[in-house]
Structure 1
């Protein structure tokens, strides 16, 4: 007796709806915008209620252990959702799917997942979705790596006035704690003319601010012609008419060259803000992390940035409790925080990532010690953030208005060129515009202010004067 073939999916209007959940960094957000763009090009519409959506996509991140746990928790919940919405198609993609052990776990334990794909074949999603709907069988398609970047994918931007532009994929650094080189692959840079054309098209479509994305934007162009590098790209993009702001992330300290710093200082559209993830202030720990720079290098780069870029804001990432980190190592990190005077920091407890060298290192730090150190670290960071923000009191700053405040719809929220979050009484018509705001109250994590008319800003600076001297 022949086996009964699975029923084919019938595409109808009710099923042409979707919801995307994004976990992780801006690269993942940009990937989700591309997935949304591809779906909308196929006639799909966004549906916020997962009980009504025909398709749900979970775009995953694997940088931290808790991110994995959140994703598996969400996948588990769809066993119940599918009882209410049995025709729902559940797709899982992103960095987690580049790890074979994760894919095996999904295949063996989560039958509610219908479609699995990875970071390198994201552009294949419409084809994979169609194949699943025609055949009705679970489909798993993950590429190990890719040496090309697919151009001209449709992008559904969250904000019409600002957008992400990926300039490169992958990472060649192989920090001992990080899974990214294994999930995103080796560094591949886009051609500068393609980036220029994309940014120019965004500006023509009303975009005022672009954020250039890459695991390490400072190494952009290393795989291209020797005349192409990140500094030259910044200078080229700075010539685009009507583009107001250029941001970028993330910037690796070992590759923050004088040429890049000079370009930031020279280009009026490049924001005076740098995210510089140092991870630790201890040279010994940095060596164990394979970061390829020392404490002295950090201080030198921060000094150079502050000397050349007036009013610059510098933020960072810090990992507390890396294997073998001693109390003395931790105190070196606190010293560097004090010397560098970071505006803010993303702080993380070291998290074991299976498959990385650090996962099997001796002297794993007890959780109690990690929590004690991160609390002490946050005390210092919050004090510095508060003190820096106090220097904005009474200043007039330029704010790109993004959206109504979550806590009060009668107040608008936006960011300065130094990436400070500002809340002020405003109107939805301000969204997407640049306004001048006088800061009336400074908090640890944000600023409050009042919008002023342009004619009242005579003599006021639209960038914040640097209150912090270059550190030695």
Structure 2
């Protein structure tokens, strides 16, 4: 199922995305050709939804230079791989992929290969000098410089820009929508992160937190709706800390009240009741009752919250520098249940963090029993160079114990996911049709308000991009099944 968060196990070929909802049909985006007519660009993204959103910004910048996208890297003049540094496995996959690109470059010496995103700063020397896998390295705040850097690489120069910014939000750039189903889209509302979770590299690879002008976000949402899009996902490393101050109309020195995340949700929800809104990711220390009441007040803001817990033990949470404890997290879950009854909740879980005991692992399992999450992204701890944890703590949990604990978490989550789906059987759900089921062109699929995937027989009266009411009469461990009842 498609989730607002894309795991690091997912590869998104952003020039020709493989869309399961359309039976594997390759969606190739054609970009207008101007100054650099005939040059082709291939972009491949790894990691979270924010990386995918960044690739849409990159595609827009390069389209302005006349590049045409291609779904085959072998015919590309420029290849960008947008990277993720969250887990070691992602780096291994990227390095292997760069070797494949290198083989293609041997047959086409004029090809330029570049690494973008989160790996850029930390691995620039290895990629450029030691392993000579790439021609240019560009950090997430330097995408405006790409045309210049590509030009320098064309001349055989070493092209690098990994400078982080305190201001860059790309608010004025209209992203090229690479997932061209014309139904759902991402909108980046902020960049960077001020949290210093000890296991995470994001503050070092994406810089300090800064929020976009709310009016630019509303304008982007309105533009998408006018083009026929029916669902947007607001993206940020920590959306609940969104805050933007604008100058007051009464005077240059005065300031209008700051717009917080609840205020932004309110503004975007008012674009149209037919525009469905999701967001990711929330931080347990920052999510407020004001945000929850805003969700409850607007029918087009989905009743679904991704609330990463990471661990159910307070001591381990302290080592992770998550700035909340077990009790605080449980209180936030209780507030969600109280203010938004039936709200779907998903999470992230890390097993085998430094010094984690068996008893502390059991507290994570008991937290899962308390919440009974709809979905979860689950990983065993992977030490990332440069993080606070790598500097302060020994990665002392044996791999076999990490994996065994992860297996227990995964098995428990499968049970809970099935329980949450069973709760939704026997009721009517408003579903946005996203396309055909990946298993059959006789069935449509789409998500309900709680982010659960619903599969139902195709009706000639309805097409992708339309809302339908579906009566759900059964479920599998991963999917709701039903029949359209409206019309």
Shift of 1:40: 2.8
2:84 is aligned with 1:61: yes
Structure 2 equivalent of residue 469 of structure 1: none
Q: Whole-Å Cα distance in 1 between the matches of residues 313 and 239 of structure 2? A: 24
Structure 1 equivalent of residue 157 of structure 2: 137
Describe the superposition over 1:308-359 as per-residue Cα deviations: whole angstroms up to 9, x where unpaired: 1132100000011100110110111111111111111100110101011211
2:143 is aligned with 1:122: yes
User: Are the structure 2 counterparts of residues 437 and 89 from structure 1 closer, same or farther at C-alpha, using a change threshold of 3 Å?
Assistant: same
Shift of 1:427: 6.4
Structure 2 equivalent of residue 329 of structure 1: 360
Q: Whole-Å Cα distance in 1 between the matches of residues 453 and 427 of structure 2? A: 14
Shift of 1:380: 1.3
User: Are the structure 2 counterparts of residues 223 and 216 from structure 1 closer, same or farther at C-alpha, using a change threshold of 3 Å?
Assistant: farther
Q: Whole-Å Cα distance in 1 between the matches of residues 65 and 274 of structure 2? A: 30
2:114 is aligned with 1:104: no
Q: Whole-Å Cα distance in 2 between the matches of residues 12 and 231 of structure 1? A: 43
Shift of 1:34: 1.3
3-state SS, counterpart of residue 304 of structure 1:
helix
Write out aligned runs for 1:321-360 (5 A). Answer: 321-360=352-391
Moved more, 106-115 or 262-271: 106-115
3-state SS, counterpart of residue 208 of structure 2:
coil
Structure 2 equivalent of residue 416 of structure 1: 448
Structure 2 equivalent of residue 151 of structure 1: 171
Describe the superposition over 1:56-82 as per-residue Cα deviations: whole angstroms up to 9, x where unpaired: 110001111111111111111222111
2:205 corresponds to which of 168, 177, 183? 183
Instruction: Please tell me whether the aligned partners of residues 128 and 136 of structure 2 are also in contact (alpha carbons under 8 angstroms).
Output: no
Instruction: Please tell me whether the aligned partners of residues 113 and 138 of structure 1 are also in contact (alpha carbons under 8 angstroms).
Output: no
User: Are the structure 2 counterparts of residues 104 and 363 from structure 1 closer, same or farther at C-alpha, using a change threshold of 3 Å?
Assistant: closer
RMSD: 1.9
Describe the superposition over 1:90-141 as per-residue Cα deviations: whole angstroms up to 9, x where unpaired: 1210111032xx10100123434122111011122223223433x2323112
2:65 corresponds to which of 39, 42, 48? 42
Moved more, 402-411 or 103-112: 402-411
Write out aligned runs for 1:62-77 (5 A). Answer: 62-77=85-100
2:238 is aligned with 1:205: no
Shift of 1:363: 5.6
Structure 2 equivalent of residue 233 of structure 1: 264
3-state SS, counterpart of residue 470 of structure 2:
strand
TM-score, normalised via structure 1 length: 0.89
Structure 2 equivalent of residue 265 of structure 1: 296
Moved more, 124-133 or 218-227: 218-227
Instruction: Please tell me whether the aligned partners of residues 208 and 242 of structure 1 are also in contact (alpha carbons under 8 angstroms).
Output: no
Q: Whole-Å Cα distance in 2 between the matches of residues 109 and 413 of structure 1? A: 47
Q: Whole-Å Cα distance in 1 between the matches of residues 166 and 99 of structure 2? A: 30
Q: Whole-Å Cα distance in 1 between the matches of residues 143 and 454 of structure 2? A: 35
2:280 corresponds to which of 237, 242, 249? 249
3-state SS, counterpart of residue 129 of structure 2:
helix
Shift of 1:424: 2.4
3-state SS, counterpart of residue 106 of structure 1:
helix
Instruction: Please tell me whether the aligned partners of residues 82 and 112 of structure 1 are also in contact (alpha carbons under 8 angstroms).
Output: no
3-state SS, counterpart of residue 254 of structure 1:
coil
Structure 2 equivalent of residue 385 of structure 1: 417
TM-score, normalised via structure 2 length: 0.86
Instruction: Please tell me whether the aligned partners of residues 36 and 65 of structure 2 are also in contact (alpha carbons under 8 angstroms).
Output: no
Shift of 1:269: 1.6
Q: Whole-Å Cα distance in 2 between the matches of residues 180 and 327 of structure 1? A: 29
Structure 1 equivalent of residue 114 of structure 2: 91
Describe the superposition over 1:31-57 as per-residue Cα deviations: whole angstroms up to 9, x where unpaired: 011112223333322211221122211
2:456 is aligned with 1:435: no
Unaligned runs of 5+ in 1: 1-10, 456-472
Where in structure 1 do 4 or more consecutive aligned residues deviate above 4 Å? 11-14, 222-226
Instruction: Please tell me whether the aligned partners of residues 375 and 417 of structure 2 are also in contact (alpha carbons under 8 angstroms).
Output: yes
3-state SS, counterpart of residue 259 of structure 2:
coil
Instruction: Please tell me whether the aligned partners of residues 386 and 445 of structure 1 are also in contact (alpha carbons under 8 angstroms).
Output: yes
2:315 is aligned with 1:284: yes
Shift of 1:257: 1.1
2:398 corresponds to which of 347, 359, 366? 366
Q: Whole-Å Cα distance in 1 between the matches of residues 442 and 57 of structure 2? A: 32
Describe the superposition over 1:372-407 as per-residue Cα deviations: whole angstroms up to 9, x where unpaired: 101111121111111111122232211112232333
Q: Whole-Å Cα distance in 2 between the matches of residues 72 and 383 of structure 1? A: 36
Shift of 1:230: 0.6
User: Are the structure 2 counterparts of residues 382 and 296 from structure 1 closer, same or farther at C-alpha, using a change threshold of 3 Å?
Assistant: same
Structure 1 equivalent of residue 337 of structure 2: 306
Shift of 1:371: 0.7
User: Are the structure 2 counterparts of residues 280 and 219 from structure 1 closer, same or farther at C-alpha, using a change threshold of 3 Å?
Assistant: same
Instruction: Please tell me whether the aligned partners of residues 352 and 380 of structure 2 are also in contact (alpha carbons under 8 angstroms).
Output: yes
Q: Whole-Å Cα distance in 2 between the matches of residues 151 and 142 of structure 1? A: 20
3-state SS, counterpart of residue 144 of structure 1:
coil
Structure 1 equivalent of residue 242 of structure 2: 220
Q: Whole-Å Cα distance in 1 between the matches of residues 165 and 36 of structure 2? A: 35
Unaligned runs of 5+ in 2: 1-34, 247-255
